[in-house]
Amino acid sequence: MPTEFLTSRQIAEQTLQDVLNDFDIKLPSHVQNFAIDFPYPIPSPEETNSEKLNLSLVGAIPACANAIIAAAIFQARGGAAQRVGIDLRRGHNYIDPDIGMTPSLNRQEVPLDVVFGNPFLKNIYETEDHKYAVLSAVYVDLVYQWSAFLGCSVAQSAVAEAVKSWNATDLEEAAAAAGLPMAICQTEESWKRHPQGVELGKKPWVPVEEVPSVPAENDSLPLPLPCHPARPLSGLRVLCLTHAIAGPSAGRTLAEHGASALQVMFTHGFEHLFVYSYASLGLSTTRLSLHKEADRARLRTLVKDAHVWIDSYRPDAIAKFGFSNSDLHHINHSLIICRVTCYGTSGPWNSKPGFDMQGSSSSGMMTLMGQGVGDGQPQWPPGMVINDYTTGYAAALAIQSIIVKRVQGEVGAQHGWLVSPSLTGTAMAISKYFKTSRFSPPTDQEGSHALPPETLEGDTGLGYLKTLASLPKLSVTPIFYEVGLLGSLGSALPRFPGYDADFDLEDATPMKKEDVAEQVGAPKAQRLEELRKLAKAYKARRDRT
């Protein structure tokens, strides 16, 4: 246990500085001396489910770091110096928007469509050799796939029985071969010895790599950002091919500070409304199908005009359509490419799929949460998706760390960049920086009580929305969403919000239903058969040995 006794402000400042150092962010003196206000103490762990992980800091510090670097960018571009305020009593709410309030549309709770009854959302299953596996199906098509793989119904008892027939090593190997998201619950120590844990452990929270300038289709100078902007990221164009939470929330964080962010969703893709209505605040959302050449051509045009690309798909899912890293830099050599993954872009698991919960289970976080509780079995962290929004903030922070160096003249704008945030890397960072046991209880904690979030309300394309307001308070450039609070999902034209780029709807032609069935539907049906056969083959091989 630590023996030094600190105030809440000192704990927050130390944690903030540690995070900034991890991102190699060196700010001007007025920021480095913490021109930031933490006016209220950290509440007691019991009030915020922070017995193991300090959710007050997890929810506050990454957002705070983004606000500070946005303020530095604003000043470097000719704007005024400003202060940032953070209310630590509210920080825990920002791990999951449902912790401290119930977001609503037209005063009704946001629908939890196709969630109830899904046995692959918040369960931990025991294997034949008494280890614990987290199988995920965040979307309904993955429910079908797991059902085909396991050869059982989607009743929770049937899934538990099916998982119990596998030993952990075989299940993990077969699921990886099948491209299905799952992980065995590790301890922190065993993960540090795992080859992928070793790979992530030797890197910063979010690895950032400069890419030398390459010949590009567009040899014009990198798109300049205007001087004396109204907001820190005014003029920055962000292209997001993202789904779920971590990817969209990275774009949302940049939009909070003035970026023009366009989210491109697959024409036949699905998103939960309860996810979209918070993770995609401030984004303009459109739909494109990369199966169509006209849509691929439109996306290439958008890449030419973008400063930042963010995607949250497996590398091969995008690259096969002509949007690999080298393809993108051939189109726009100064592009900042951010690939949000589960396990990072290097190492033996660089293409292994996964969601927030695979990051928690692989890294040892779930095992940590279960230690000393009941029977000691792994447990979910508070809020369930502790890594998702935190990874979004981390991705945005890494992107802003490049932008601030560009506007301060520390790096040239002609080079491209690769940014590699991962859900598991975030889980490891949370354990490194945000364990409650890292500091003694703050000396000023007595009498401090947790508060719900401040709220943000307004008309949207989906109805009257009430949700969480952003936590940081900036004195000169307060956070708001220029393009509107929330648009109807996929309803915008494929162009950057605020820019009148040419786009003719006549150039877009819908696919015939039979073509959609052949190109989109048939491969999905075929995959179910392949999964069924693959699982049987693995089991047969095991039975022979």
Shortest CA distance to 348 belongs to which of 196, 138, 133?
196
The answer to whether 422 touches 201, Cβ cutoff 8 Å, is: no
Sequence ranges of the chain with CATH classification 3.40.50.10540: 205-368+382-437+470-477
CATH fold, domain 205-368+382-437+470-477, is Rossmann fold (3.40.50)
Looking at every residue in the chain, the average pLDDT score rounds to 93
| Residue 99 tokens, joined | 């912790």
pLDDT digits (tens, 9 = 90+) for 419-438: 999 999 999 999 999 999 99
**Angstrom distance (rounded) from CA 329 to CA 215:** 8
**Angstrom distance (rounded) from CA 85 to CA 88:** 10
Tell me the pLDDT band of 317, cut-offs 50, 70 and 90.
Answer: confident
pLDDT digits (tens, 9 = 90+) for 442-456: 999 998 999 999 999
Tokens 């939960």 locate to 272
pLDDT at 515: 87
The answer to whether 413 touches 406, Cβ cutoff 8 Å, is: yes
pLDDT digits (tens, 9 = 90+) for 480-526: 999 999 999 999 999 999 887 777 777 778 888 998 889 888 999 99
Shortest CA distance to 492 belongs to which of 303, 260, 270, 193?
260
pLDDT exceeds cutoff 50 at 33: no
The average pLDDT across 110-129 equals: 91
pLDDT exceeds cutoff 60 at 30: no
The average pLDDT across 17-46 equals: 83
Work out the burial of residue 408: count CB atoms within 10 Å of its CB; fewer than 13 is exposed, 13-18 middle, 19 or more buried: middle
Shortest CA distance to 88 belongs to which of 126, 24, 53, 44?
44
**Angstrom distance (rounded) from CA 373 to CA 93:** 23
pLDDT exceeds cutoff 50 at 183: yes
Classify strands 104-105 and 84-85 as parallel, antiparallel or unpaired: unpaired
**What contacts 544, CB < 8 A, 6 or more positions away?**
none
Helices (H) and strands (E) in the chain, counts: 19, 17
pLDDT at 215: 66
The answer to whether 64 touches 473, Cβ cutoff 8 Å, is: no
pLDDT digits (tens, 9 = 90+) for 287-315: 999 999 999 999 999 999 999 999 999 87
SS3 544: helix
Q: What one-character-per-residue DSSP string does 213-253 give? A: ----S--SPPPPPPSS-SSTTTT-EEEEE--TTHHHHHHHH
Shortest CA distance to 314 belongs to which of 145, 140, 179?
179
Rounded to 10 degrees, what is the CA torsion of 357, 362, 363, 367? 80
pLDDT at 1: 60
Spatial strand order in the sheet of 473-474? 36-37, 84-85, 473-474
40 vs 29 pLDDT, higher one: 40
In this structure, of 40-49, 158-167, 323-332, 533-542, the range with the lowest mean pLDDT score is: 533-542
pLDDT at 543: 79
pLDDT exceeds cutoff 50 at 122: yes
pLDDT exceeds cutoff 80 at 214: no
pLDDT exceeds cutoff 80 at 111: yes
In this structure, of 1-5, 179-183, 409-413, the range with the lowest mean pLDDT score is: 1-5
The average pLDDT across 398-408 equals: 96
**Angstrom distance (rounded) from CA 211 to CA 204:** 18
Is pTM beyond 0.85 here?
Answer: yes
Rounded to 10 degrees, what is the CA torsion of 149, 151, 153, 155? -70
